Structure 1
Amino acid sequence: MRASVDEDPAAGNDGAGRRPGRPALAGAREVLAIPAFRRLWMVTGLCSSADWLALAAFAALAGTLATSSAGLNYAFSGVLFANLLPGLLFSPVAGLLADRFDRRTVMAVADLARCALLLSIAVVNSYWWILVGGFLVQVATTMWIPAKDAAVPGLLRRPDQVAPAAQLGLAMTYGLTIAVAGGLFTLITGAGTVFGLPSHVLDMNGLTRLAVVVAALFYLASAVSIATVLPELAARPTPATPAGAADRAPDATPGPGLGAMLRDSVSYVRTSPLVRGLLIGMAGALAAGGAVVGSAQTYALSLRGGQAAFGLLLLAAFVGLVAGILGTPRLARRVTHERLFGIAVVGAGSVLVVVALSPHLAVSLAAVVAVGAGAGTAFLTGVTIIGSRVEDAMRGRVNALYQSMLKVVLGCSVALAPLLVTLIGQRRLHLWGEDFLVDGTRPVILGAGLLAALAGGLAYRRMRAGIAHSGESAGQRR
């Protein structure tokens, strides 16, 4: 399959963006029946297990190697920051590499680099090298992810298989591999107690360093698998067709250099209403989600539920997110992906208004579940649109932009929300003859909901304009 922005009725598309209806489980089985995708899915499992195992081991190592109370206090947050920063800085470069070079080579080299860096962290056994080496590991991971995401649609047989493939990828990355990594970390670090190993056999953090070595071996196994059993990834992306190319000579294609590709990607986003609408909608949804996460703890206190209410709110958001991801393929059988994306973002923003006005924890929990469902639906629909409607030569860059925006907008919103809550403070309102004490979380969440609803509506209009433009261009070519 080579997906593009044009509709392909013969490939299972009805011309309006809808896909033929099949149960989600049947779609997952059908996708896993494709040998190349199944092998890549297992490789993703190896790498994701290594990611989570390394993160747990880094946090534990940093805690034992810290030489000051400040270092101990910032051990986990420092490791987490070192893991997030490369995605903010290098995602655009990663997208260019995914669209410029052989994706199998990019992924294999990134895996080998991660393996070598983890081994060096286990050997050096230094607090600062955990942070620096972990940062470099995530640089390699940032290069790996867009190449993998851009390669997946090319392994499938029809555009309607992109959604179940994305579901399987999310289930592997944020479900199975977390359980595998957690179990392995517990088994490895608890081996000394279980087997009664004497203290002189292993030093204070020897078993934790062994967990780092195991994660390195997972990356090595991934690199070997990519190089030996996934030749389908070796195909270099086809050259992108820049805007207006249909009116120029057939050989008028952009230059092969990274600078030309960067200019071409900027031009592509500017001239593609579909991609612009997708990015606008996700930016609004992520900004709203970040505002909620950043103010959630104070909001829970305003409901007089304490830390228990905070935990319940996080659980409700996660349950909603999973429900939205699982239910998206069924909804996509009835409405177009563009309409579903817009409805999901507008719906999540509208329900946030209920969250902002809610006086009771029970109402808030139900509303937060609905917000999470809208966010999960929007995210999976966005991934599906990129996989099935963005041409192969641009898919790596669009995926990288999508992922980097996820981290940048969400991170900035999470950081800004507490500041806004503090600046607004508490206000006493007199309504219907009663006095109400309103804290700063309510206006922040209300504003976030309205922003998301506005962004969702604007995104849908842009994306529909993109579909109309594609149809007109196709008609002119015929």
Structure 2
Amino acid sequence: MTRYLSLLRNRNFLRYWLAGALAHVGDFFNTLALVKLFSQDPDRLGFYTSLVVVGNMLPTLLLGPVAGVLADRLPRKLIMVTADLVRAALMFSMMFVHDPLALIGIDFAAAVAAAFFGPASSALLPRLVQREELATAGSLNIMTQRLAMLFGNGLGAVLLGLVGPAGVFAINTGLFLASGLLHATMRAPETAPAEAGSRPAASPLAKLVRDLREAAAVVRERPNLLHLLAGLCIANFGDSGSNVLLVTFFTVTLGVAAEQLGFVMALFGGAAVLGAFAIGAVGNRVHWRHLFSLGCCYVWFTATGAVVVRSLIPSSAFLLLLGLGSGAINVGLQVAIADLVPDNVRGRIFGSFGTISSLIMIVGTLLAGVLADRFGAAATMLGYALFYLAAGIYGYQKLRPEPAPAAQAASARAD
């Protein structure tokens, strides 16, 4: 607890964290309001919902590299504040729109703003806290996301009944405005953009290609970074199907009603909060390569256990265990990026990896549905879980200790 209190005394990080919490809650509010409006046409509810899901993934897939370049070329705080204000304006416009396709279009535009926000936010975090605080900061962010899932759905349902979709959109507008204000009042140290030197003027496309090549060169020059990103791609494929398959497994294979499933998933979210809290307390004492490798193996073991026992209470117990350790991989990633990547290319690394990750998630999710129909949710889930095990073994074999001072020196030279 002391580590968290010490971290929150950092006013810049406190503003960063509170703004993120408001935005996460607003995302869940928005989803509930859209589902409520779409449910007025039950015959097309599934179609509209699938468009929203794909629309939220596509901007990161298509714009990730560009967003990453901008995060390294422009003040990151400026990008974050602009994205908050754009999303606030879009939420406000939703109050006056009733056509489902128009609402989906506005939601897609909000996802575009979020695609630019993400790399800037991720790249800025290591500038707001000390190196030894990164594990705690990453764990706190994961706890916030899980709590937003709990309170965003619960409180959002209550508000939806009290003020209706338009009222929820109005509240969401206020949340994003508050987020923008908090980000605007941060004192965020920025890395100066790379000097052009004697380079001749280049077209925007040529500059984009050059910037992406610089990021690729950083990855090639750092074997640990290359192996970490490769391991994450393997784990992401396993994760792409797990979210859908676990729900299908509990509802179809175990016959769990929707109300009971909601309770189970709420327990999972609570366990994830506790797990992230524990990881944040001790994560700085564990090297990020162990957090990643052991975290992947742990997820494989608990996800496999939930499927193999095929009974509601034991499967739920394994799901709770899964939640406890689910944050280790992301915490390890945040610390690793700070150690391995120079600050002036950090946005490009996050942006490019976001694109690759989104592509993997889309392909993996679609494939999971096809395989589940053919082989069943349980067998398909066991197959997807194996990708976590493969990622853990890969990370254990390929990742090697790398002294933090060396990485810091490299970062200083690059800056």
Q: TM-score range by the shorter chain?
A: 0.7 to 0.9
Deviations 1:404-450 (A, max 9, x none): 455443343232123223334xxxxxxxxxxxxxxx44543333333
Q: CA deviation at 1:297?
A: 4.8
Mapped pair 1:49 → 2:22: no
Give the equivalent residue in structure 1 for 2:224. 274
The answer as to whether partners of 2:146 and 2:273 remain within 8 angstroms in 1 is no
Closer, same or farther: CA 189–299 of 1 in aligned 2, 3 Å = closer
Name the one with the larger helix percent: 2
The count of residues paired between Structure 1 and Structure 2 equals: 404
Give the equivalent residue in structure 2 for 1:123. 96
Deviations 1:292-350 (A, max 9, x none): 33333554478655447866764565455334322223453553221231112123224
Closer, same or farther: CA 454–63 of 1 in aligned 2, 3 Å = closer
In 1: Cα distance, 2:79 partner to 2:304 partner: 44
Q: In the alignment, which of 242, 258, 273 is matched to residue 322 of structure 1?
A: 273
Give the equivalent residue in structure 2 for 1:152. 125
In 1: Cα distance, 2:267 partner to 2:161 partner: 32
Closer, same or farther: CA 368–222 of 1 in aligned 2, 3 Å = closer
Deviations 1:9-38 (A, max 9, x none): xxxxxxxxxxxxxxxx11111111112111
In 2: Cα distance, 1:30 partner to 1:375 partner: 24
Closer, same or farther: CA 230–318 of 1 in aligned 2, 3 Å = closer
- Normalised by the length of structure 2, the TM-score is 0.82
The answer as to whether partners of 1:274 and 1:463 remain within 8 angstroms in 2 is yes
Structure 2 residue runs without a partner (length 5+):
none
In 2: Cα distance, 1:189 partner to 1:307 partner: 23
Closer, same or farther: CA 370–123 of 1 in aligned 2, 3 Å = closer
Q: CA deviation at 1:459?
A: 1.8
The answer as to whether partners of 1:348 and 1:374 remain within 8 angstroms in 2 is yes
Alignment root-mean-square deviation, CA: 3.6
Q: Which amino acid aligns with 1:172?
A: T
In 2: Cα distance, 1:176 partner to 1:317 partner: 13
Q: CA deviation at 1:148?
A: 1.5
Q: CA deviation at 1:139?
A: 0.4
Structure 1 residue runs without a partner (length 5+):
1-24, 192-206, 241-249, 425-439
**What is the correspondence of 1:76-87 to structure 2 with a 5 Å cutoff?**
76-87=49-60
Q: Which moved more, 1:398-407 or 1:43-52?
A: 398-407
User: Percent identical across equivalent pairs?
Assistant: 24
Mapped pair 1:222 → 2:194: no
Closer, same or farther: CA 325–215 of 1 in aligned 2, 3 Å = same
**What is the correspondence of 1:132-211 to structure 2 with a 5 Å cutoff?**
132-156=105-129, 158-176=130-148, 179=151, 183=155, 186-187=158-159, 189-191=161-163, 207-211=164-168
Give the equivalent residue in structure 1 for 2:368. 417
The answer as to whether partners of 2:68 and 2:352 remain within 8 angstroms in 1 is yes
Q: Which amino acid aligns with 2:276?
A: I
Q: CA deviation at 1:378?
A: 1.4
Give the equivalent residue in structure 2 for 1:198. none
In 2: Cα distance, 1:181 partner to 1:420 partner: 30
Q: Which has the larger radius of gyration?
A: 1
- Normalised by the length of structure 1, the TM-score is 0.72
Q: CA deviation at 1:212?
A: 1.7
In 1: Cα distance, 2:87 partner to 2:253 partner: 45
In 1: Cα distance, 2:65 partner to 2:348 partner: 7
Deviations 1:109-162 (A, max 9, x none): 222222222333323443222111110011001111221221121111x21111
Give the equivalent residue in structure 2 for 1:259. 209
Closer, same or farther: CA 354–469 of 1 in aligned 2, 3 Å = farther
In 2: Cα distance, 1:337 partner to 1:52 partner: 30
